[in-house]
């Protein structure tokens, strides 16, 4: 089974010219989903991982499964306004504007080793914001893992420039 084949492409979504890579078809296939989780963890086998952090929203599906597999805690990094209580915020740039990601204060402890996951890396802006939040909490990002990379958008290079290893399962041309 080839994991990339279980990802559906939806043309012209959310706007004309965009090829949307839909991982929900992978999530719906039990064998492909299990294989994806196993393969995402493979390069980190033997590493100490204290927590898994994941980026909203599809990253939560993978992050929860990975945290369960590792028997470690799960930390959601959410879009602005969705976390109650004290939180840290990090702004990042989108194609047309700015957005904010947030992390609960106290969700991570100084020195904890964190694996950051999401479904897709495109420009890397959301992931960069997540890394900055994790580091501001005093934790260490030991790596990042994604099902899909869109190399033409440069996100992987951006994250590797932050000294964070990037592991991906599938690459797709274009955006």
Does 36 reside within a domain? no
User: pTM (2 decimals)?
Assistant: 0.95
Does 7 reside within a domain? no
What is the model's pLDDT at position 144? Answer: 98
**37-88 confidence digits (pLDDT tens):** 999 999 999 999 999 999 999 999 999 999 999 999 999 999 999 999 999 9
Count of domains observed in the chain = 1
CATH code of 64's domain: 3.40.50.2020
Report the alpha-carbon distance of residue 95 to residue 5 in Å, rounded. Answer: 28
Instruction: With cut-offs at 50, 70 and 90, classify the pLDDT of residue 175.
Output: low
| pLDDT mean over 161-165 | 98
Does 113 reside within a domain? yes
Catalytic residue positions, numbered: 58, 95
| Token pair in block for residue 14 | 């959310």
Domain that holds residue 113: 46-171
Percentage of residues in the chain with pLDDT exceeding 90?
A: 92
Neighbours of 107 (CB within 10 A): 21
Does 35 reside within a domain? no
For 101, the enclosing helix (H) or strand (E) is strand 97-104
Does 95 reside within a domain? yes
């Amino acid at each position: 089974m080839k994991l990339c084949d279980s990802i559906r492409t939806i043309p012209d979504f959310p706007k004309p010219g965009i090829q949307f890579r839909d991982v929900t078809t992978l999530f719906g296939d039990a064998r492909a989903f299990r294989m994806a989780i196993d393969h995402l963890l493979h390069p980190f086998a033997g590493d100490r991982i204290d927590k898994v952090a994941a980026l909203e929203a599809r990253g939560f599906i993978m992050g929860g499964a990975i945290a369960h597999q590792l028997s470690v805690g799960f930390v959601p990094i959410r879009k602005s306004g969705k976390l109650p209580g004290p939180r840290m915020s990090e702004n990042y740039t989108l194609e047309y504007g700015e957005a904010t990601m947030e992390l609960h204060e106290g969700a991570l402890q100084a020195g904890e080793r964190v694996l950051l996951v999401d479904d897709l890396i495109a420009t890397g802006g959301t992931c960069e914001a997540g890394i900055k939040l994790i580091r501001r909490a005093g934790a260490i990002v030991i790596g990042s893992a994604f099902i899909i990379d869109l190399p033409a958008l440069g996100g992987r290079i951006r994250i590797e420039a932050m000294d964070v290893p990037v592991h991906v399962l599938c690459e797709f041309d274009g955006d």
